C-alpha cells in the first residue's frame, strides 16, 4: 500500500468521524430545541397546562399519600409490635406460693424472656390509684381481681402463639390474653390495604397514561399540517416524535411536582394535630413524609408516565398523518 | 437522474392516473410537465417523492430503484429532493428563517452552518431582509420564494415544483421561473409541473405533456 493511499484512507476515516460528530451534535441540538420548544408550548397555555398538571398531580398524589399513610401506620405498629405480652390470669384456687413457683418455672423456659408477678393486692392498689375509684373499692368486702403473671416471650421469636395454646390448657391458669391478637389483625389489615393501594395505584397510573395520551393526541391533531410538512421535507419518524415525547415528559414531570406538593401540604396540615395527639399519649411519634428522595421519585415516575403516554399517542396517531 | 420505465399508477378507488409512462430526465436538465387538470402531473411528482408507490413499472431516481427503498428509507430519500408546492406548505407560526431552516434542522446541521446556509438561500431568492418576518405578513410571491428557499437550502440534487406559479400574476410567475432556471444552471435537476403553457413555452426547455395519464409528448 502506498503512502499516498494510506494518507487518503486516514483522511477518509477522519472526515467520516467529523461527519459523525456533526450528526451527533445536530441530533443533540434538535433534542435541546425540541425540549425547549415543547416547554414553551406547554407554558404558552398556562391555564390548560395547569389543569393537566393538577389532574395528573391528584392521580399520582392519591396512591403516594396512601403509601405514606401506610408507612406511618407501620411505624406506629412497630413500636407496639415487640415484645408482645401475654397476661396470665391465675384461677382463684392458686395460692400466692403456687403462683410464685409457677412464675419461676416459666422464667426457666428458653422461649420466655421475662415473667413479672402482679399479686391481686398490688393489682387492686394500682387500679384504685389509676381509676380514681379508691372510695368505691374500699367498700368492697373482697378483692375481685385475680393474680396475674405478665409474660414476655423472647423477642423476634414466634413463640407467643405456641405459649398461648400451651398455657391456656394449664388448669392453674384461668385465662390467657394474648396482646398480639389485635396487632395481628392490624398487620393483616395493613397487608390488605397495601394491596388495595397497589390496585388503586395501577388504575390511577393507567388513567394518567391515558389522560396524557389524549392530551398529546390533541396536540398532534393541532399540529397536523406541520407534521405533514416535516415529513415532506424528509423528517424521520423519530424527528417528528421528539417534540411530542418532550411535551409528554413536561406534563408528567409537572404532574409529579404537583403530586409531591399535594402530599407535602396534606402532611403539613395533619402534622400539628397528629403531634398534639401523640403528646396526649406521651408518645414522641411524628408523621413521616415523602422526603426528598420520595418526592424526586414521584417526579421521576410522573416523567416516565408522561413519556409512556406520549409514546402511546405518538405511535398510534403519527402513522396516520402522512402527506397526500 | 430520473427514469420512469412503463410506470402506471392506479389509486385504490379510481381509474389509472398514470399509464405506462416511460421517460428519462438527465442530471443537467430542466423539464416542464404539463397537461390539463387531472392529467396526472401531481401523481407523477408524488411517485418521485415516494408519497405514492407505482402500481406497475420501475422508477429510478439518482441511481436508486425506488422499489428497494423501504418505509424507513423514505425520509433520507426525500432529503435528496427539494419540493415547492402551489400552496407553499409553510409553517405559519414560524418565522421565515425557521421555515427555511427546517430541512437543515432535520438533516442535523450545526447551528452556525444552518445560519450561514439559510441566509445564503434567502439571499438567492431576494428575501434576506425578511428572515424574522412571519409568513402571513408576506405577499403570495414572497411566500412562494420562501418555499423555494426551503426547497434548495439543503442543496438537493433534484428540485420538484408542483404548480409553483399557480396563484401568481404573470410578472411574478416569470421571476419565479427564472429562479428555477438559475438553480438548473448550477447542476440541479429541475422538474416543474405547470399548466401555464404560455409561460413555459416561452422558456427553452423540454416539455413533457400528459393527457389522461399517458405521456403524449416528451419534447425531445
Ligand atoms: N389520492 C387520490 N386518490 C384517488 N384518486 C386520485 C388521488 N389523487 C389524484 N387522483 C386522481 O388521479 C388523477 C390525476 O390526478 P393528479 O395527478 O392530481 O392530476 P393533475 O396534478 O395533473 O391535476 C385524477 O383523475 C385524480 O382525480
Ligand atoms: Mg396537480
Q: Quote ipTM for the complex.
A: 0.90
Q: Are residues A228 and A295 in the same domain?
A: yes
A173-178: strand order across its sheet: A112-118, A148-153, A86-90, A173-178
Measured by CA distance, the residue closest to atom 18 of ligand 1 is: B42
What single-letter DSSP state applies at residue A208?
H
pLDDT band at A12; cut points 50, 70, 90: low
Residue pairs between chains A and B whose CB atoms are closer than 8 Å: 64
Q: Does A264 lie in the same domain as A212?
A: yes
Residues A72 and A200 grouped into a single domain: yes
Question: Does residue A164 form part of some domain?
Answer: yes
Residue of A22, A233, A235, A324 best to disrupt the B interface, most CBs of B under 10 A:
A233
What span, in angstroms and rounded, lies between the C-alpha atoms of A194 and A185? Answer: 14
Shared domain check, A191 and A308: yes
Stretch A206-229: mean pLDDT, rounded? 90
Task: Give the pLDDT score at A73.
Answer: 79
Q: Mapping DSSP to helix (H, G, I), strand (E, B) and coil, where does residue A218 land?
A: helix
Mean pLDDT for chain B? 91
**Percentage of chain B exceeding pLDDT 70:** 99
Q: Pick the residue whose CA is nearest to atom 26 on ligand 1.
A: B38
Q: Do B75 and A236 touch (CB under 8 A)?
A: yes
Residues B160-201: pLDDT tens digits? 999 998 878 888 888 889 989 999 999 899 999 998 888 888
How does strand B81-84 pair with strand B158-162? parallel
Phi-psi category of residue B81: left, alpha or beta, with phi > 0 → left and psi -120 to 50 → alpha = beta
| Residue minimizing CA distance to atom 4 of ligand 1 | B11
Q: Nearest C-alpha to atom 11 of ligand 1 is from which residue?
A: B17
User: How far away, in angstroms, is B165 Cα from ligand 2 center?
Assistant: 12
Cα-based angle A60, A63, A65 (whole degrees, multiple of 5): 95
For B138-163, what is each residue's pLDDT tens digit?
988 899 999 999 999 999 999 999 99
pLDDT at A79: 61
CB within 8 Å of B130: residues ≥ 6 apart: B96, B122, B138, B142, B146
**Same-domain status, A207 and A222:** yes
Overall pTM surpassing 0.80 (yes/no): no
Which ligand is located closest to the Cα atom of residue B38?
1
Domain count, chain A: 2
**Domain boundary residue, one of A157, A179, A201:** A179
B75–A239: do the CB atoms touch at under 8 Å?
yes
- Looking at chain B from residue 82 to 101, which residues have their Cβ under 8 Å from any Cβ of chain A? 83, 89-91
Q: At what angle do helices A237-280 and A224-232 cross, to 10 degrees?
A: 140
The answer on pLDDT for A80 being more than 80 is no
Any domain includes A158: yes
The pLDDT of residue B61 is above 90:
yes
DSSP sequence for A140-174: -SS--PPPEEEEEEPTTSSHHHHHHHHHHT-TTEE
Query: Do residues A101 and A46 both lie within one domain?
Result: no
User: Of the candidates A120, A149, A179, which is a domain's last residue?
Assistant: A179
Cβ within 8 Å, pair A33-B75: no
CB A103 within 8 A of CB A115: yes
What per-residue string of b and e applies to B71-81 under the rule 16 or more CB within 10 Å gives b?
eeebbebbbeb
Using an 8 Å CB-CB cutoff, list residues of chain A that contact chain B: 22-23, 25-27, 29-30, 33, 225-226, 228-237, 239, 322-324
Q: What is the CATH number of the domain that holds A116?
A: 3.30.70.3040
A189 and A72 in a common domain:
yes
Does the residue A280 lie in any domain? yes
Q: What pLDDT, on the 0 to 100 scale, is given for residue B31? A: 94
pLDDT band at A3 (very low <50, low <70, confident <90, very high): low
Residue B162 CA, closest ligand 1 atom number: 21
Contact of B145 with B179, CB cutoff 8 Å: yes
- Residue A220: which residues within 8 A CB-CB, separation 6 or more? A227, A244, A313, A314, A317, A318, A321
Residue A184 CA to residue A168 CA, distance in Å, equals 19
Cis peptide, bond prior to residue A83, ω within 30 of zero: yes
Q: How many CB atoms lie within 10 A of CB A176?
A: 19
pLDDT greater than 70 at residue A261: yes
Q: Which domain holds residue A314?
A: 37-80+185-318
The owner of cell 413555459 is B200
Amino acid at each position: 500500500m502506498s503512502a499516498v493511499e494510506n494518507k487518503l484512507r486516514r483522511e477518509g476515516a477522519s472526515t467520516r468521524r467529523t461527519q459523525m460528530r456533526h450528526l451527533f451534535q445536530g441530533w443533540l441540538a434538535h433534542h435541546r430545541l425540541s425540549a425547549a420548544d415543547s416547554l414553551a408550548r406547554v407554558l404558552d397555555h398556562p391555564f390548560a397546562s395547569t389543569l393537566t398538571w393538577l389532574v395528573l398531580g391528584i392521580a399520582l398524589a392519591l396512591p403516594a399519600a396512601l403509601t405514606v399513610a401506610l408507612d406511618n401506620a407501620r411505624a406506629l405498629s412497630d413500636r407496639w409490635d415487640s415484645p408482645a405480652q401475654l397476661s396470665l390470669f391465675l384461677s382463684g384456687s392458686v395460692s400466692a406460693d403456687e403462683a410464685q413457683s409457677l412464675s419461676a418455672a416459666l422464667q426457666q423456659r428458653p422461649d420466655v424472656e421475662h415473667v413479672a408477678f402482679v399479686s391481686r393486692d398490688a393489682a387492686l392498689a394500682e387500679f384504685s390509684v389509676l381509676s380514681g375509684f379508691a372510695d368505691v373499692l374500699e367498700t368492697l368486702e373482697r378483692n375481685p381481681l385475680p393474680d396475674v403473671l405478665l409474660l414476655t416471650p423472647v423477642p423476634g421469636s414466634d413463640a407467643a402463639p405456641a405459649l398461648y395454646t400451651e398455657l391456656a390448657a394449664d388448669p392453674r391458669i384461668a385465662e390467657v390474653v394474648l396482646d398480639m391478637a389485635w396487632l395481628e389483625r392490624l398487620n393483616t389489615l395493613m397487608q390488605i390495604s397495601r394491596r388495595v393501594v397497589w390496585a388503586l395505584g395501577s388504575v390511577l397510573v393507567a388513567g394518567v397514561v391515558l389522560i396524557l395520551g389524549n392530551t398529546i393526541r390533541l396536540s398532534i391533531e393541532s399540529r397536523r399540517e406541520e407534521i405533514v410538512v416535516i415529513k415532506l421535507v424528509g423528517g424521520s419518524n423519530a424527528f417528528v416524535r421528539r417534540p411530542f415525547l418532550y411535551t409528554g415528559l413536561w406534563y408528567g414531570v409537572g404532574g409529579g411536582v404537583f403530586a409531591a406538593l399535594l402530599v407535602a401540604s396534606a402532611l403539613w396540615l395533619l402534622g400539628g394535630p397528629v403531634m398534639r395527639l401523640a403528646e396526649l399519649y406521651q408518645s414522641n411519634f411524628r408523621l413521616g413524609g415523602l422526603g426528598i428522595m420520595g418526592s424526586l421519585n414521584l417526579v421521576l415516575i410522573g416523567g416516565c408516565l408522561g413519556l409512556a403516554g406520549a409514546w402511546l399517542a405518538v405511535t398510534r396517531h403519527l402513522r396516520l398523518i402522512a402527506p397526500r | 437522474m430520473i427514469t420512469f420505465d412503463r410506470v402506471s399508477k392506479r389509486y385504490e378507488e379510481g381509474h389509472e392516473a398514470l399509464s405506462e409512462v416511460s421517460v428519462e430526465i438527465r442530471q443537467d436538465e430542466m423539464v416542464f410537465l404539463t397537461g390539463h387538470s387531472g392529467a396526472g402531473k401531481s401523481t407523477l411528482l408524488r411517485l418521485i417523492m415516494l408519497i405514492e408507490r407505482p402500481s406497475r413499472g420501475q422508477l429510478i431516481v439518482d441511481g436508486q430503484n425506488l422499489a428497494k427503498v423501504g418505509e424507513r428509507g423514505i425520509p433520507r430519500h426525500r432529503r435528496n429532493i427539494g419540493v415547492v408546492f402551489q400552496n407553499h406548505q409553510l409553517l405559519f407560526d414560524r418565522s421565515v428563517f425557521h421555515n427555511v431552516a427546517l430541512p437543515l434542522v432535520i438533516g442535523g446541521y450545526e447551528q452556525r452552518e444552518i445560519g450561514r446556509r439559510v441566509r445564503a438561500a434567502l439571499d438567492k431568492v431576494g428575501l434576506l431582509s425578511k428572515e424574522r418576518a412571519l409568513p402571513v405578513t408576506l405577499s403570495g410571491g414572497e411566500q412562494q420564494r420562501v418555499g423555494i428557499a426551503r426547497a434548495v437550502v439543503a442543496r438537493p440534487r433534484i428540485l420538484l415544483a408542483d404548480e409553483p406559479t399557480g396563484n401568481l400574476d404573470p410578472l411574478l410567475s416569470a421571476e419565479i421561473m427564472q429562479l428555477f432556471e438559475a438553480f438548473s444552471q448550477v447542476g440541479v435537476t429541475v422538474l416543474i409541473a405547470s399548466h401555464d403553457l404560455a409561460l413555459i413555452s416561452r422558456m427553452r426547455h423540454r416539455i413533457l405533456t400528459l393527457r389522461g395519464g399517458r405521456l403524449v409528448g416528451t419534447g425531445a
